[in-house]
Homo-oligomer: A and B are copies of this chain.
Amino acid sequence: MAALERVRTPACVGLDPVLERLPQGLRPRTTEPAAAAEAIGEFSRHILLAMTPFIGCVKVQSACFERFGHWGVSALEGLIRDAKELRLEVILDAKRGDIGVSAEHYAAAAFDRPVGAAPDWITVNGYFGEDGIRPFLRPGHGAFVLVRTSNPGGVRVQGQPLAAGGVVADAVASMVAEIGADSIGARGFSSVGAVVGATDRPAAARLREAMPDQVFLVPGFGAQGGGIDDVTPCFRPDGTGAVVTASRSVIYASGGRDADWARRVSDAAASFADEIGRAAGWR
């Protein structure tokens, strides 16, 4: 992830645009999906411009675009193209998962794009096991498999104690480590990463140990309740191996105000970048 090194921080902006929180001047006059998709696409493009001086990675929430049907998907395609033009590392947060043959289709949906317009990573649900994950492991691309999520309900399945010890998330972690073992790149990380929510410090430490070769994608920083202390165990001792994502605290930094809104986003990105860069010891 050279894009992170350029800006000396393993921070990532989560792009989850919703109409209600756009600056007034960008909100569409009608509620037609075509107009809505155009508005969130335009907002998102400005976020990319505002963040790129400070942050090298963007995670795009597919659901926010899909809700506007094919217009939304078209806006998403354009956005990913723009993000790649800005040399950003792009994570498509789509949380796909299906049996092997259908996972192949989802991998094609994500990665069979025009040259320079495909995301680098996709998020994947591991409930289907290995054949639901492998199709996403294409050369030059990777998958972050959901291990431990940051939402309140997550513990109901992920936290079930296993007969063999540990909980369900630990079993998923061990599967992820195993599947990822044969795709470790020059920098010592696998193309199979792990989503590990930033809301439980001991859990993060245990998962770091179980998945030494995985890049952790750490959502939930800021608005979802995770703080810097919850995040640090996700890194390797040398400060590599985790990408920390903040969404609402950055992209809505202007609080809906029009005046200078993109500048406020840019300032919030700079400050988030610095916080994570220092926590990881990159600056």
Contacts and interface: CB of A to CB of B under 8 A. Distances in A.
Given A66-B105, A69-B77, 8 more contacts: A63-B102, A63-B109, A95-B97, A95-B125, A128-B154, A129-B152, A129-B157, A161-B163
A263 to B, nearest CB: 27
Interface string A100-116: 11110110110011000
Interface of A: 16, 18, 61, 63-64, 66-74, 77, 95-103, 105-106, 108-109, 112-113, 125-133, 146, 149-158, 160-164, 168, 171-172, 175
Contacts of A108: 67
B100 A151 contact: yes
A161 to B, nearest CB: 4
A63 B129 contact: no
B109 A127 contact: no
A123 B122 CA distance: 20
A198 to B, nearest CB: 13
Contacts of A66: 73, 105-106, 109
23 contacts: A61-B102, A63-B106, A64-B102, A64-B105, A68-B109, A70-B73, A95-B96, A95-B98, A95-B125, A97-B125, A99-B150, A99-B154, A125-B125, A129-B154, A132-B151, A133-B153, A156-B171, A157-B172, A157-B175, A160-B171, A161-B163, A162-B163, A168-B168
B67 A106 contact: yes
Contact of A128 (B132, B153, B172): B153
